[in-house]
Amino acid sequence: MSYSVQEAFQLGLEASQGNTDLASPLANSVYGLTFRESKNLPYHRWYPYVEGFASNYVGHRILSEGKQIKRIYDPFGGAGTSMLTASCLGIESGYSEVNKFMQFVSDAKINSTATIFAQEKRIDNIFDEYLGELQNRIAFEKRAKAVCLTQYANAFNGKDFFAIPHLRRLLAARDLAQEVFHDEQDILKIVLLAIASNVVKASNMTRRADLRRRRPDEYKDRIIDVPLFITDKLRQIQDDLLKCALKPLRRTFLVTDDSRQLDEGYVCTFDMAITSPPYLNGTNYCRNTKLEQWFLGFLSHESGLEKLRKKLVCAGINNVTKNRNIHHSFPKVEHIASLLDDCALDKRIPLLVRGYFSDMYNVFKTVYSYLSPGSRFYLDIGDSVFYGVHVKTDELLQDVARQVGFSLVQKNMLAKRYSRDRTPLVQVELVFEKGL
């Protein structure tokens, strides 16, 4: 059974009344736990994001607050799930996000779309001129053959992330969009997002948690047709613009790139915070979008990823460096890290654990400052295991949050998980509250 976004929100609200067990079959069927539940929803599906979380969960939490929410904050904006969901409910939002491409995704899905609706543009033919030129195969192939690949070679040192003809067509489609919509920047952003959402699909790579090269036995029968990929995505987008009753109404804005850094201008201005932060599991969030970052001009060379990693919360092994400072220490965290000091073959692992909770302390401090008194902070998080040492991330974060000033008002089991060695793990929801 499938639900519209609004139906899912309402059913999620009804299912939770008098039932705090969010792992119940009914609740899971309604609002889900990961982006898998959002990838087929209007607007959210414009750019699928493996690391994202569920729109219906966000909507459920907003509607279950029991008070009017005027503005929400997500310290890890990602693909904009929280902000887009809020926008469709008529709520303004702010967010933090290091990755410039992911900032672009949120801006296109929410702000550009809201502007188009506010200006009452004709949507039924919004992409027609562009699609007409894209589908003129002879002219488009001529354009693709003339594309210069110097910037690609400079960025990736000639690595074969793409078959050259497919790369040329992607770049030609991008350049064509910039020509057609040079006076329509909001439409241009949406078209560029449609193209960028097909960059990995048209490459020699695949994204399975991490971005990696396709194996020879994968996608044997795939046919790469860049103009068709883009046409299908734009038709999907146009369908959402025309037919979806719930649409982005309110804008979102970038508060800071780095959620560990406080902007004094936003102190006590948010009524709610909600996020799914990076898990302590080694996923390299910026590297996963390096092709899209380069494609839209946010990354000129692969080495630029190093600068981004320094701004990321220390959640992955690539974020661990000898000169990375650990500013905050916690007895319970230090106990776990000391166990890893003794048994971890990779000596970066205990540093990773120490760095993660030190960084999350700074994130929590920022969120606490941004929230108005009495407001709640919803956190979707999972635990980890390294070398047989169980890192109970949710329990350790509770200790960190208390030191910041938050009170834990609820802890809800969301799902059971397993590590690679089949150690039982969990995914939980932590609900914190800032005092009055």
Q: DSSP secondary-structure letter at 300?
A: S
> Does residue 203 lie within any of the structural domains?
no
> Does residue 264 lie within any of the structural domains?
no
Domain of 353, CATH number, reads 3.40.50.150
374 is in which domain, residue-wise? Answer: 313-436
> Does residue 219 lie within any of the structural domains?
no
Number of domains comprising the chain: 1
Euclidean distance between CA atoms 330 and 354, whole angstroms: 9
> Does residue 93 lie within any of the structural domains?
no
Q: Which residues lie below 8 Å from residue 235, measured CB to CB, with a gap of 6+?
A: none
Which residue is listed with tokens 């296109």? 108
Euclidean distance between CA atoms 1 and 284, whole angstroms: 34
> Does residue 272 lie within any of the structural domains?
no
Euclidean distance between CA atoms 9 and 61, whole angstroms: 9
| Per-residue pLDDT tens listing for the chain (436 residues) | 333 444 444 544 444 333 333 333 323 433 445 545 566 889 999 998 876 678 888 999 999 888 899 999 999 999 999 999 999 999 999 999 999 999 999 999 999 999 999 998 889 999 999 999 999 999 999 999 999 999 999 999 889 999 999 999 999 999 999 999 999 999 999 999 999 999 999 999 998 778 899 888 887 788 999 999 999 999 999 999 999 988 999 999 999 999 999 999 999 999 999 999 999 876 677 789 999 999 999 999 998 998 888 888 998 887 887 777 788 999 999 999 999 999 999 999 999 999 999 999 999 999 999 999 999 999 999 999 999 999 999 999 999 999 999 999 999 998 888 888 888 999 999 999 999 8
Q: Which residues lie below 8 Å from residue 117, measured CB to CB, with a gap of 6+?
A: 247, 248, 249
What predicted TM-score, i.e. pTM, was given to this entire model? 0.90
> Does residue 360 lie within any of the structural domains?
yes
> Does residue 356 lie within any of the structural domains?
yes
Euclidean distance between CA atoms 328 and 51, whole angstroms: 27
> Does residue 358 lie within any of the structural domains?
yes
